[in-house]
Amino acid sequence: MTVTKIEIRPGAYFDSVVLMHLQRALAGLPGVQDAGVVMATPANRELLAEGNLLPPEANSASSDDLLIVVKGDADQVVLSALQQVDALIAARRGASTRQGFRPRSLDSALKALPDARWLAVSVPGRYAAALARQGLERGLHIFLYSDNVPIDEELALKLMARARGLLVMGPDCGTAIIDGIGLGFANRVRRGNIGLVGASGTGLQAVTSAIHNLGGGVSQAFGTGGRDLKAKVGGITALQALAWLAQDPATEVIVLISKPPDPEVAAELLGAAQSCGKPVVVNFIGYAPPARRLGNLWFAVNLQEAAELAVSGQLLAVSQTSEHLAGYLRGLFSGGTLAVEAVLALQNLLYPLYTNVPISNHQSLISPSPQNAHIIMDLGADDFTQGRLHPMMDNDLRIRRLRQDAADPEVGMILLDVVLGEGAHPDPAGELGPVIAEVISSQELVIGVLIVGTDQDPQGFDRQAIALEAAGAVVFLNLEEAAEFVRDRFSSQSPVPISQLPITPLVINAGLESFFDSFTSQGARAVQMEWRPPAGGNERMAALLEKLKV
């Protein structure tokens, strides 16, 4: 006869690794057919029910209760198994963490390890933000492995951390390597000159492992959590980590890894990368890069190539960035394909960017034209050529727009194309040059001109270039040159201070005991907290106690 019995332990907390080992140990006892050991959340109860391991009396358990279910051949077998639970837990702990005393509060843990620099948090998500906040209040960087933390709480934590010069890596941050010590799921790699910032934990693992296997080494590898590069969070941790690596004398090459960020965050992050003074390899997974290289930015098409580029010595020869421009870009193109190519090259460098040849919906230009934005126009589009010649033959429309945009104090640069060849305007520089000289003399403005043509064209390529340069324009021979110029002069980086450098991982660990074992096995000093849900998991009581502290 099959017998199923349960034990409910109200408010009892054990991390998921301990519960997994306990479940396996119970299932391995003689006469036990199956076992389930979980925190009694609705999702966990549903899984037990699917395995026919949820008798009706289990429904009285709350999400913060420990639920132990044993199915066996006989009543005595099941009772005996339940009686062994505490001994099995003690045996598991004795075999893992070698720490004797376990502090029950963060303040007690800090007394045991007063030089601690990090708090590693892997407790259930509904408690994680409060514990992380306690760590920030005590001057600790946070490695936040816990998931299911609301994004509003993530933003609040990261704003708080930034204001205090601290880092919050996470929530849902699975991987980091700090001063040679792996946090979470990290591979053991040699130290070296390559620093990484990753919103993808397995991506960080893949690239750091490849760097090691290629003979390179890692200075630091910062995880950010998967939502850091969402618009709502704004890349706070990624920007902080990038700033830290830019300041770090041991880091000579930087790698950025992420699934495609939201456009405004990508623009800010790439702008900061362009200004950092070091070569940066970028792999936004699944994203088509704007170019193979833009100045100090090198775009990789996959994780392996990101590692190969980072290890390659060619990246270390990087030119310094130029003086930055204030204001916004206006692109006034006669060629529709050139306008599209300009959008592709610049959409992740400039934000917000609007155009009448959008690559994505959020770039669509509306009327009237938006203020405080970068704009690229195809003036050869059908809307502009009804009743007038194409701008390759008639510069009147572009001259009007050139004067209009030059008069806008928010505009810092205007980029034009001049397309030579048969059928085109016989002397475009002759018309555009005087206007360019006029607007430059009256405004603090840069005018760039991309010339498309050959030395055999009737307009004369060299003659056109010389005339435009004499008028004060910056002449480009291809779009990549123009994009690099724009990149250098419009990118900017605000200081993002991080205090307490270096950030050696002396760690207080709250949650998964396997992380504590990992820290200590790598030679780090760590303290394991005996964390329990506040007020035994009673959320109303916990909230009341929190108010009483204020």
DSSP labels, 421-437? STTS-S-HHHHHHHHHH
Q: What spatial distance separates the first Cα and last Cα of the chain, rounded to whole Å?
A: 57
Each residue's pLDDT tens digit, 194-240:
999 999 889 999 999 999 999 999 999 999 999 999 999 999 999 99
527, exposed or middle or buried, with CB in 10 Å at 0-12, 13-18, 19+? buried
Instruction: Check residue 225 and give left, alpha or beta (phi > 0: left; psi -120 to 50: alpha).
Output: left
Does residue 527 sit in helix, strand or coil?
A: strand
Quote the mean pLDDT of the chain: 86
Q: Find out whether 96 and 119 touch, Cβ atoms under 8 Å.
A: no
Q: What is the token pair recorded at 122?
A: 């892997």
174/202 Cα distance (integer angstroms): 8
259/225 Cα distance (integer angstroms): 11
| Residue of 267, 261, 407, 218 lying closest to 330 (CA atoms) | 407
In this prediction the pTM is: 0.69
pLDDT (average), residues 417-433: 94
Radius of gyration of the chain (CA): 30
Count helices and strands in the chain by DSSP H and E runs: 19, 22
Helix axes 16-27, 85-95, angle to 10 degrees: 120
Please state which of the ranges 40-44, 330-334, 380-384 shows the lowest mean pLDDT.
40-44
31/78 Cα distance (integer angstroms): 8
| Residue of 467, 267, 293 lying closest to 348 (CA atoms) | 267
Res 321 pLDDT > 50 = no
Res 500 pLDDT > 60 = no
| pLDDT computed for residue 320 by the predictor | 44
More confident call, 144 vs 543: 144
Q: Sorting pLDDT into bands at 50, 70 and 90, what band is 51?
A: confident
| Residue of 167, 215, 210 lying closest to 187 (CA atoms) | 210
| pLDDT computed for residue 428 by the predictor | 95
| pLDDT computed for residue 493 by the predictor | 46
Res 345 pLDDT > 70 = yes
Each residue's pLDDT tens digit, 97-131:
556 678 989 999 999 999 999 999 998 888 899 99
Q: Sorting pLDDT into bands at 50, 70 and 90, what band is 292?
A: confident
Helix axes 461-470, 428-442, angle to 10 degrees: 20
Res 92 pLDDT > 60 = yes
More confident call, 504 vs 205: 205
Alpha carbon dihedral 34, 39, 45, 49, in 10-degree steps, equals 0
| pLDDT computed for residue 550 by the predictor | 44
| pLDDT computed for residue 546 by the predictor | 55
| pLDDT computed for residue 317 by the predictor | 57
Determine which helix (DSSP H) or strand (DSSP E) holds 8, and give its type and residue range: strand 3-9
* Residue labelled with tokens 């104090």: 409
144/119 Cα distance (integer angstroms): 8
Please state which of the ranges 311-325, 416-430, 437-451 shows the lowest mean pLDDT.
311-325
Q: Sorting pLDDT into bands at 50, 70 and 90, what band is 495?
A: very low
| Residue of 445, 450, 412, 473 lying closest to 333 (CA atoms) | 450
Q: Please name each of the domains of the chain with its CATH number.
A: 3-95 (3.30.70), 106-320+501-528 (3.40.50.261), 328-490 (3.40.50.261)
More confident call, 172 vs 545: 172
Each residue's pLDDT tens digit, 364-390:
887 777 778 899 999 988 888 887 888
Q: DSSP of 218-236, one letter per residue?
A: EEEEEE--TTTTSTTT-SH
Q: Sorting pLDDT into bands at 50, 70 and 90, what band is 448?
A: very high
Res 533 pLDDT > 90 = no
* Count of beta carbons in the 10 Å neighbourhood of residue 486: 26
Q: Find out whether 170 and 225 touch, Cβ atoms under 8 Å.
A: yes
The one-letter code for the residue type at 534 is P
Does residue 328 sit in helix, strand or coil?
A: strand
* Count of beta carbons in the 10 Å neighbourhood of residue 441: 9
Q: In what order do the strands lie in the sheet with 3-9?
A: 3-9, 66-72, 32-39
| pLDDT computed for residue 22 by the predictor | 84
| pLDDT computed for residue 319 by the predictor | 43
More confident call, 10 vs 261: 261
Residue spans of beta strands (DSSP E) within 246-373 = 253-258, 280-284, 293-294, 297-299, 328-333, 353-355
69/33 Cα distance (integer angstroms): 11
Res 90 pLDDT > 80 = no
